[in-house]
A and B are shown apart, each in its own frame.
Chain A
């Protein structure tokens, strides 16, 4: 009985995560290409995709490493991109906090925007399911996303050298990030934060060691929070 409910939770998770292969495949391939073009070797590119598993922060790190930013700025910026995942972890806690530690540890390893979004909506639809079933569902959604991410990175590394310059892949990173920002502009508070982020980044671009980027992000985060406090968050 318990084994079969676990199995069905896993299958439902796999099905729910399946479509995200279409997102992870091009992003992962692009990361393999961009990382290789930046001068990283095969091992380093693959280590990024297997140890960090967070596309936007991986691209951020590679971009800043190419800009010769100090390591502390690279880490601060790339981790800032991932701070939203603390919020994901807090949102998941009431649902899967009672699941075994090994499951929670694996969920933390595989927590991506996609798995989080689809799992949370499943939990809200079926709050009666057990913590273990909910955790199993989450891991099911993560399997297609993560395996595609790693394989696609590998494909990107292999393809990297064969990409003709006419494809203007120098601009693939800005286009990718703009494509991530677009759907994230959900409220006026988000739009306000994004505008402040751009204005400050350009105005503070003269500050050495890419520190203007960190200041711009802090200013933009405070702007979003303040706008939300004033009721512009919905």
Chain B
């Protein structure tokens, strides 16, 4: 549960909105025709695969729903979701296969 005050919640949303807009507008407006240095492009290419796995690794291994104990059903669902999305090259199939795996395993146990 979020325990921030209403003011903190709105400040977070507004700052995130502004920051995201500035990132998106960067080379279309603010920085004009300046080319991006190669080393920076090289780092940016990996920003999504650098942070998303870090964010969910603890949630997969130590899910709150089982009190932080590793759960075979959730681990299996995670593996299936990753493989299905990678194989089909689109997120939708990963989401469908992952949740279906979880529901089937939870129903069996």
Contacts and interface: CB of A to CB of B under 8 A. Distances in A.
Contacts of A147: none
How many A residues are at the interface, by size bracket?
A: 35 or more
Contacts of A223: 46, 50
Interface string B10-51: 111111110111011111110011011001011111111111
Given A93-B27, A108-B28, A183-B85, A81 B42 contact: no
Contact of B94 (A22, A105, A108, A178): A178
How many B residues are at the interface, by size bracket?
A: 35 or more
B91 interface: yes
B24 A111 contact: yes
Contact of B33 (A57, A96, A97, A200): A97
A220 to B, nearest CB: 4
Contacts of B51: 60, 77, 80-81, 197, 213, 216-217, 220
Given A65-B2, A213-B51, A85 B23 contact: yes
B43 A201 contact: no
B55 A77 contact: yes
A158 interface: no
A87 B44 contact: yes
Contacts, number: 299
Contacts of A109: 21, 24
Contacts of A62: 2
Contacts of B92: 22-23, 26, 179
A54 interface: yes
Contacts of A40: 2, 9
Contacts of A66: 1-2
B108 interface: no
Interface stretch (A9-17, A120-128, A148-156, A165-173): A165-173
Given A51-B14, A57-B16, A65 B9 contact: yes
A29 B26 CA distance: 30
- Interface centre among A108, A201, A229, by most chain B C-beta atoms within 10 angstroms, is A108
Given A202-B57, A220-B49, 8 more contacts: A39-B3, A57-B16, A60-B52, A84-B44, A177-B55, A181-B53, A185-B49, A202-B61
